[in-house]
Structures are given as C-alpha cells and as structure tokens.
Structure 1
Amino acid sequence: MMVAVTGSSGFVGSHVVDVLRERGFGVMGLDRVGRPDVRVNLCDIGTSTLCEVDAVIHCAAHADISRNWEHGRLYELWRDNMDALLSTLRATPATARFVFVSTAA
C-alpha cells in the first residue's frame, strides 16, 4: 500500500512517515523541503495528482499561529491552510482514503 504524507518533513508528518515505514507501507512524502530517507515529491499540490497512492495523510499546515496573530495575518494563515487542504483533496484519487490531521495551535 502506498501512502502519501503531506508535511512529511514537519514535526507530526515526520513521525507519521516513520511509523508507516516501520509497518511496511510505501511512503511518498509531499513537502516544501526534502528528507533524505523518504522519496519526497517537492511539488505544487495544486498542479499534481496522486494517482499512484492508496491513501493520503494530510499533515501539512502553517502551524505558528502566535507569530501570525501578532502581525494580524490570521486570515492569510487560514486561507493558505484551507487552500492546501482543498488542493490536496482535489489531487487525491476518489478511491483513496484521506486522513486530515490538524495541529495548528
């Protein structure tokens, strides 16, 4: 089974990748930065499709609310996170399972 993990280099996503690999799953990371031990697709999810995956675990998000709060950019943070979620949903095959992980605090 091939699982795509968005935010695969982030705090939560990197742990998800480790657990999946320990349990024998194939993992495709989707991130803005790479990870040497995982095949990472440094893509724009808005222009990509995930046709080779059986499941998607969406961990990617801007999580630093306090910094955005101080600069009055909460709407931008929300919009960017929503755009990423919707783009990932659109790119996910209808037959794949989708898990949404929200860790913004």
Structure 2
Amino acid sequence: MTAYAIAHMRQVTMGPQIVEYLHKIDATLEPFGGRFLVHGGDVEVIENDWPGNLIIIEFPDRQHVREWYASPAYQAILALRTENSQSDVVFADGVEHPHKATDVLG
C-alpha cells in the first residue's frame, strides 16, 4: 500500500545548509521509489491556521519510507534540515481504492 512521508515545516531558516539539503534530498529518494507530491508552495487555509509549508513525499509502501529515512544517505543530510527548521514529520499509509469514509469503522 502506498505510504507517505508528510512534513509540516512550521519555520525554516533559509541559508546554506537548507540549500545543501535541497540539492541532496532527491538522490536519497530515488533508490526507495520516493517522489514529491507536494513541496511547499501556496496553500489555501480555509479553517484555523497553517503557518509554514507542507511537504508530501510518496513511496511504494511503509517499508520503503522507513528504509529511506533510516538510509545512510538521508541520515547524512538530516541534520541540515533539523538544525535549521521547526517541523513535524509523520509517515502515513494511503488507502486502497475504492475507499469510503465508513471503511474506518471496521
């Protein structure tokens, strides 16, 4: 089942380390089938507040997203992001199609 790495980047200090991170992250995704679906950009807030940016990276499954995050290549650049931003990061599974809202009821 498709899985996602989702980040809410609440604050980013744009500087040389974030620029280096951006230059290097794509190469870390490729071996694990990762691809950006959403990478910052303008969001339309319709309820409450949404300070910051949204990043969604798609992977073939949860195992691939875990392996990417734990990979030596990603771990080598992780501090470039964490030391220069405040963010929340989660992994989430997609749903099988077709899916109805009531499917979560069991």
TM-score by length of 2: 0.30
Instruction: With a CA cutoff of 8 Å and minimum separation of 6, indicate the structure with the bigger relative contact order.
Output: 2
Query: Which structure has the highest strand share of the two?
Result: 2
Larger Rg: 2
TM-score by length of 1: 0.30
